[in-house]
Amino acid sequence: MNVECHNIIDNQMSVFSVLNADEKELLKRNSTCTYYKKNDIIYKEGDKPSGLICLSKGKVKIFKEGVGGREQIVRMAKPVGFIGYRALFAEQNYLASAEAIEDCVICTIEKETLFKILKTNYDLAFSIIRSLASELGFSNNRTVTLTQKHIRGRLAESLLFLKDTYGLEEDGSTIRVYLSREDIANLSNMTTSNAIRTLSTFASERIIVLDGRKIKILDFKGLERISELG
Protein backbone atom coordinates (compact mmCIF):
# COMPACT_ATOMS: atom_id res chain seq x y z
CA MET A 1 0.00 0.00 0.00
CA ASN A 2 1.34 3.38 -0.95
CA VAL A 3 -1.75 5.54 -0.68
CA GLU A 4 0.40 8.54 0.20
CA CYS A 5 2.11 8.30 -3.20
CA HIS A 6 -1.22 8.10 -4.94
CA ASN A 7 -2.44 11.22 -3.17
CA ILE A 8 0.63 13.17 -4.22
CA ILE A 9 0.46 12.10 -7.86
CA ASP A 10 -3.30 12.72 -8.08
CA ASN A 11 -3.11 16.11 -6.33
CA GLN A 12 -4.57 18.82 -8.56
CA MET A 13 -2.01 21.34 -7.32
CA SER A 14 1.05 19.18 -8.01
CA VAL A 15 3.31 19.32 -11.05
CA PHE A 16 1.81 15.96 -12.04
CA SER A 17 -1.57 17.51 -12.76
CA VAL A 18 -0.48 17.92 -16.39
CA LEU A 19 -0.18 14.14 -16.84
CA ASN A 20 -2.90 11.91 -18.24
CA ALA A 21 -4.46 8.99 -16.35
CA ASP A 22 -2.13 6.39 -17.90
CA GLU A 23 0.97 8.34 -17.03
CA LYS A 24 -0.20 8.87 -13.45
CA GLU A 25 -0.95 5.17 -13.17
CA LEU A 26 2.56 4.33 -14.39
CA LEU A 27 4.11 6.66 -11.83
CA LYS A 28 2.01 5.19 -9.03
CA ARG A 29 3.02 1.65 -9.92
CA ASN A 30 6.67 2.68 -9.76
CA SER A 31 6.58 4.58 -6.48
CA THR A 32 7.31 3.46 -2.98
CA CYS A 33 6.30 4.93 0.34
CA THR A 34 8.71 5.18 3.28
CA TYR A 35 8.33 6.37 6.85
CA TYR A 36 11.07 8.18 8.72
CA LYS A 37 11.34 9.06 12.39
CA LYS A 38 12.61 12.42 13.60
CA ASN A 39 16.42 12.58 13.26
CA ASP A 40 16.49 9.78 10.65
CA ILE A 41 18.82 10.30 7.71
CA ILE A 42 16.95 10.17 4.39
CA TYR A 43 20.09 10.32 2.25
CA LYS A 44 23.71 11.19 2.76
CA GLU A 45 26.25 13.26 0.83
CA GLY A 46 27.78 10.86 -1.72
CA ASP A 47 24.74 8.56 -2.02
CA LYS A 48 23.35 7.88 -5.48
CA PRO A 49 19.80 9.13 -6.12
CA SER A 50 17.41 6.28 -6.94
CA GLY A 51 14.38 8.40 -7.72
CA LEU A 52 12.48 11.59 -7.12
CA ILE A 53 11.82 11.94 -3.39
CA CYS A 54 8.58 13.64 -2.48
CA LEU A 55 8.00 14.81 1.06
CA SER A 56 4.36 14.07 1.83
CA LYS A 57 4.35 14.74 5.58
CA GLY A 58 6.90 16.19 8.00
CA LYS A 59 9.83 18.57 7.69
CA VAL A 60 13.37 17.95 6.43
CA LYS A 61 16.66 19.82 6.60
CA ILE A 62 19.17 19.61 3.74
CA PHE A 63 22.72 20.29 4.85
CA LYS A 64 26.33 20.05 3.80
CA GLU A 65 29.33 19.12 5.90
CA GLY A 66 32.01 21.79 5.67
CA VAL A 67 35.38 22.55 7.24
CA GLY A 68 35.97 20.28 10.26
CA GLY A 69 32.54 18.65 9.90
CA ARG A 70 30.78 21.95 10.55
CA GLU A 71 27.24 21.73 9.19
CA GLN A 72 25.58 24.29 6.92
CA ILE A 73 21.87 23.96 6.24
CA VAL A 74 21.27 24.88 2.58
CA ARG A 75 17.55 24.21 2.40
CA MET A 76 14.50 23.44 4.52
CA ALA A 77 11.81 21.29 2.91
CA LYS A 78 8.11 21.13 3.71
CA PRO A 79 5.23 19.02 2.42
CA VAL A 80 4.29 18.73 -0.34
CA GLY A 81 7.68 19.25 -1.94
CA PHE A 82 10.57 17.45 -3.58
CA ILE A 83 13.98 16.83 -2.08
CA GLY A 84 17.19 15.59 -3.63
CA TYR A 85 16.05 16.47 -7.16
CA ARG A 86 19.12 18.61 -7.83
CA ALA A 87 21.44 15.57 -7.77
CA LEU A 88 18.89 13.45 -9.63
CA PHE A 89 18.66 15.89 -12.55
CA ALA A 90 22.36 16.79 -12.56
CA GLU A 91 22.95 13.03 -12.81
CA GLN A 92 25.36 13.30 -9.90
CA ASN A 93 25.58 11.78 -6.44
CA TYR A 94 24.10 13.83 -3.62
CA LEU A 95 26.23 16.82 -2.60
CA ALA A 96 24.20 17.34 0.57
CA SER A 97 22.46 15.19 3.17
CA ALA A 98 18.80 15.14 4.15
CA GLU A 99 17.56 14.54 7.70
CA ALA A 100 14.03 14.42 9.06
CA ILE A 101 13.47 17.06 11.72
CA GLU A 102 9.99 15.62 12.34
CA ASP A 103 8.45 12.21 11.61
CA CYS A 104 8.07 12.07 7.84
CA VAL A 105 6.19 10.25 5.12
CA ILE A 106 8.11 10.06 1.88
CA CYS A 107 7.16 8.85 -1.55
CA THR A 108 9.92 7.93 -3.99
CA ILE A 109 9.20 7.86 -7.71
CA GLU A 110 11.51 5.50 -9.50
CA LYS A 111 14.05 7.31 -11.65
CA GLU A 112 13.69 5.60 -15.04
CA THR A 113 9.92 5.87 -15.00
CA LEU A 114 10.08 9.55 -14.17
CA PHE A 115 12.59 10.23 -16.93
CA LYS A 116 10.47 8.35 -19.42
CA ILE A 117 7.45 10.50 -18.66
CA LEU A 118 9.58 13.63 -18.56
CA LYS A 119 10.66 13.00 -22.17
CA THR A 120 7.14 13.48 -23.46
CA ASN A 121 5.95 16.23 -21.13
CA TYR A 122 7.18 19.70 -21.82
CA ASP A 123 5.15 21.18 -18.96
CA LEU A 124 6.70 18.83 -16.45
CA ALA A 125 10.18 19.56 -17.80
CA PHE A 126 9.55 23.26 -17.70
CA SER A 127 8.27 23.20 -14.14
CA ILE A 128 11.51 21.45 -13.16
CA ILE A 129 13.50 24.11 -15.02
CA ARG A 130 11.60 26.83 -13.18
CA SER A 131 12.14 25.17 -9.78
CA LEU A 132 15.86 24.73 -10.31
CA ALA A 133 16.25 28.30 -11.57
CA SER A 134 14.37 29.70 -8.57
CA GLU A 135 16.36 27.58 -6.16
CA LEU A 136 19.60 28.79 -7.78
CA GLY A 137 18.51 32.41 -7.30
CA PHE A 138 17.78 31.67 -3.67
CA SER A 139 21.15 29.97 -3.21
CA ASN A 140 23.06 32.90 -4.71
CA ASN A 141 21.16 35.25 -2.44
CA ARG A 142 22.02 33.12 0.56
CA THR A 143 25.69 33.09 -0.38
CA VAL A 144 25.75 36.88 -0.25
CA THR A 145 23.80 37.32 2.95
CA LEU A 146 25.57 34.56 4.84
CA THR A 147 28.95 36.02 3.90
CA GLN A 148 28.15 39.71 4.25
CA LYS A 149 25.58 40.20 7.00
CA HIS A 150 26.61 40.32 10.63
CA ILE A 151 25.32 37.85 13.19
CA ARG A 152 22.17 39.79 14.08
CA GLY A 153 21.28 40.27 10.41
CA ARG A 154 21.88 36.62 9.57
CA LEU A 155 19.76 35.41 12.49
CA ALA A 156 16.96 37.87 11.71
CA GLU A 157 16.96 36.71 8.10
CA SER A 158 16.85 33.06 9.16
CA LEU A 159 13.86 33.66 11.41
CA LEU A 160 12.02 35.43 8.61
CA PHE A 161 13.00 32.64 6.23
CA LEU A 162 11.59 30.03 8.62
CA LYS A 163 8.42 32.06 8.99
CA ASP A 164 8.06 32.33 5.19
CA THR A 165 8.79 28.65 4.66
CA TYR A 166 6.68 27.07 7.39
CA GLY A 167 4.25 29.84 8.23
CA LEU A 168 2.83 30.79 11.61
CA GLU A 169 0.61 29.00 14.10
CA GLU A 170 -2.95 30.03 14.88
CA ASP A 171 -1.76 32.80 17.21
CA GLY A 172 -0.32 34.60 14.15
CA SER A 173 3.14 34.95 15.64
CA THR A 174 4.69 31.57 16.50
CA ILE A 175 6.93 30.13 13.76
CA ARG A 176 5.54 26.75 12.70
CA VAL A 177 8.77 24.79 13.10
CA TYR A 178 10.73 23.77 16.18
CA LEU A 179 14.46 23.72 15.63
CA SER A 180 17.28 23.16 18.08
CA ARG A 181 19.55 26.14 18.72
CA GLU A 182 22.22 24.16 16.91
CA ASP A 183 20.09 23.85 13.77
CA ILE A 184 19.31 27.58 13.90
CA ALA A 185 23.06 28.20 14.14
CA ASN A 186 23.79 25.86 11.23
CA LEU A 187 21.19 27.61 9.14
CA SER A 188 22.61 31.04 9.96
CA ASN A 189 26.34 30.37 9.71
CA MET A 190 27.22 30.93 13.34
CA THR A 191 28.19 28.91 16.40
CA THR A 192 25.49 27.47 18.65
CA SER A 193 26.63 29.77 21.45
CA ASN A 194 26.15 32.83 19.27
CA ALA A 195 22.71 31.65 18.11
CA ILE A 196 21.61 31.22 21.73
CA ARG A 197 23.12 34.52 22.76
CA THR A 198 21.64 36.49 19.87
CA LEU A 199 18.20 34.90 20.30
CA SER A 200 18.34 35.97 23.96
CA THR A 201 19.28 39.49 22.93
CA PHE A 202 16.34 39.63 20.48
CA ALA A 203 14.08 38.41 23.29
CA SER A 204 15.38 41.06 25.69
CA GLU A 205 14.73 43.65 22.99
CA ARG A 206 11.10 42.41 22.79
CA ILE A 207 11.54 41.48 19.10
CA ILE A 208 10.77 37.82 19.80
CA VAL A 209 9.55 35.68 22.69
CA LEU A 210 11.25 32.38 23.43
CA ASP A 211 9.49 29.41 25.01
CA GLY A 212 11.72 26.38 24.67
CA ARG A 213 11.98 25.80 20.93
CA LYS A 214 8.91 27.89 20.23
CA ILE A 215 9.79 31.25 18.72
CA LYS A 216 7.12 33.92 18.70
CA ILE A 217 7.78 36.98 16.55
CA LEU A 218 6.55 40.18 18.22
CA ASP A 219 8.11 42.78 15.94
CA PHE A 220 8.11 41.71 12.29
CA LYS A 221 9.15 45.15 11.04
CA GLY A 222 11.99 45.19 13.56
CA LEU A 223 13.27 41.81 12.38
CA GLU A 224 13.10 42.96 8.76
CA ARG A 225 15.03 46.10 9.60
CA ILE A 226 17.77 44.10 11.34
CA SER A 227 17.90 41.69 8.42
CA GLU A 228 18.16 44.42 5.78
CA LEU A 229 20.68 46.45 7.73
CA GLY A 230 22.99 43.43 7.76
Partner DNA sequence: ACATTTGTATGTTTTTTAACATATTTTTAT
Partner DNA sequence: ATAAAAATATGTTAAAAAACATACAAATGT
Run of H or E including 85: helix 85-90
On the question of a cis peptide bond just before residue 177, with omega within 30 degrees of 0, the verdict is no
Size of the site for its own copies (CB under 8 A): 46
| Residue 161 contact, options DNA, its own copies, none, Cβ 5-8 Å cut-off depending on partner type | none
- Cβ neighbors of 73 (< 8 A, separation 6 or more) are 61, 62, 63, 183, 186, 187
Is 41 one of the binding residues for its own copies (CB under 8 A)? no
Let me know if 223 is exposed, middle or buried by CB neighbors in 10 A (0-12, 13-18, 19+).
buried
The packing angle between helices 111-119 and 122-148, to 10°, is: 110
CA angle 96, 190, 143 (to 5 degrees): 55
**The binder of its own copies chosen from 137, 169, 205, 213 (CB under 8 A):** 137
The contact set with DNA (CB under 7 A) reads 68, 150-152, 180-182, 189-194, 196-197, 199-200, 210, 212-213
Distance (Å, whole) CA 150 – CA 154: 6
87 dihedral zone (left: phi>0; alpha: psi -120 to 50; beta): alpha
Is 193 one of the binding residues for its own copies (CB under 8 A)? no
**The binder of its own copies chosen from 10, 40, 102, 135 (CB under 8 A):** 135
**The binder of its own copies chosen from 32, 44, 95, 206 (CB under 8 A):** 95
Is 9 one of the binding residues for its own copies (CB under 8 A)? no
| Residue 141 contact, options DNA, its own copies, none, Cβ 5-8 Å cut-off depending on partner type | its own copies
Q: Which is nearer to its own copies, 85 or 161 (CB)?
A: 85
Cβ atoms 41, 83 nearer than 8 A: no
Is 126 one of the binding residues for its own copies (CB under 8 A)? yes
| Residue 118 contact, options DNA, its own copies, none, Cβ 5-8 Å cut-off depending on partner type | its own copies
| Residue 3 contact, options its own copies, DNA, none, Cβ 5-8 Å cut-off depending on partner type | none
| Residue 66 contact, options DNA, its own copies, none, Cβ 5-8 Å cut-off depending on partner type | its own copies
The 3-state DSSP composition of the chain as helix, strand, coil percent (nearest 5) reads 50, 25, 25
Is 81 one of the binding residues for its own copies (CB under 8 A)? no
Is 151 one of the binding residues for its own copies (CB under 8 A)? no
Binding residues (CB under 8 A) for its own copies: these are: 64, 66-68, 70, 72, 74, 85-92, 95-96, 118-120, 122, 125-126, 128-130, 132-137, 139-149, 153, 189, 230
